[in-house]
Amino acid sequence: MKKASQKTQHPDASYHFLTQWHFPNTRREEVYRILEDVEPLARWWPSVYLDVKEREKGQPGGVGKVVELFTKGWLPYTLRWSFRVTRAEFPHGFALEALGDFIGTGVWAFEQEGPDCLVTYDWQISAAKPLLRRLSGLLRGIFSANHEWAMRQGKISLDLELRRYRGELNVPAPPGPTWPHNWLNNKIL
């Protein structure tokens, strides 16, 4: 798979994002379990995940699991991509390989510091969607800001989902998408 990924990457369309989240009074096992259960992502992180389908279960523990995603950020375009889990080490984290409109790798790491959980997501990708790939040199800052927005929404949404996971009642709904997912024809962007 690596050779195919290298062929489709464009040096100006490569991105490296490092996101860090802090969850007070949270066990890393809770965060791991929520993030490994992929199909509910569209319910609890709807500002980004419009549709999520697990296509292959993979091995016990999740290695080899294949997930198909339809996603967006605050910009009015959508992305179709999939990932395969390449490493899973409960409760420390897991790694994935992305294919489709994104090509690259993601690594989720969960650390316990006393009563708090520290989450790090290391996302190294190239934009493969043709227009995004071509515009990355010009619009890199805007595309990067779009990712940062999506991850801020993820932190808010995961905070709320942790409350539901723990059995709290009357938890507010998570933030929704900024634009209808079909606002622009996603074949154009």
Short-list 134, 164, 137, CA closest to 33: 164
The pLDDT value given to residue 76: 87
pLDDT score of 6 more than 70: no
What span, in angstroms and rounded, lies between the C-alpha atoms of 108 and 95? Answer: 6
Distance (Å, rounded) from C-alpha 123 to C-alpha 140? 15
Cβ atoms 156, 23 nearer than 8 A: no
For residues 157, 109, 73, 124, the Cα torsion angle rounded to the nearest 10 degrees is 180
Choose the weakest-confidence range: 11-25, 33-47, 133-147, 174-188: 174-188
Q: How many domains does the chain have?
A: 1
Asked if residue 68 is part of any domain, the answer here is yes
116 lies in which domain range? 2-165
pLDDT band at 1 (very low <50, low <70, confident <90, very high): very low
Predicted local distance difference test score (pLDDT) of residue 11: 56
Q: For strands 78-89 and 116-127, give the pairing.
A: unpaired
Amino acid at 65: K
Residue 130 covered by a domain = yes
Is 171 part of a structural domain of the chain? no
The CATH number of the domain holding residue 108 is 3.30.530.20
**Angle of helix 130-165 versus helix 28-36 axis, rounded to 10:** 130
The residue-averaged pLDDT of 66-73 equals 96
pLDDT value at 107 more than 70: yes
Residue 175 domain-assigned?
Answer: no
Q: Please report which confidence band the pLDDT of residue 12 belongs to, taking 50, 70 and 90 as the band edges.
A: confident
Question: Rounded to an integer, what distance in angstroms lies between the CA atom of residue 64 and that of residue 6?
Answer: 21
**Does the residue 153 lie in any domain?**
yes
Q: Is residue 174 part of a domain?
A: no
Q: Is 176 domain-assigned?
A: no
Q: Is residue 117 part of a domain?
A: yes
Q: What is the pLDDT of residues 13-60, one digit of tens each?
A: 999 999 999 999 999 999 999 999 999 999 999 999 999 999 999 999
Q: What is the 3-state secondary structure (H, E, C) of 9-66?
A: CCHHHEEEEEEEEEECCCCHHHHHHHHHCCCCHHHHCCCCEEEEEEEECCCCCCCCCE
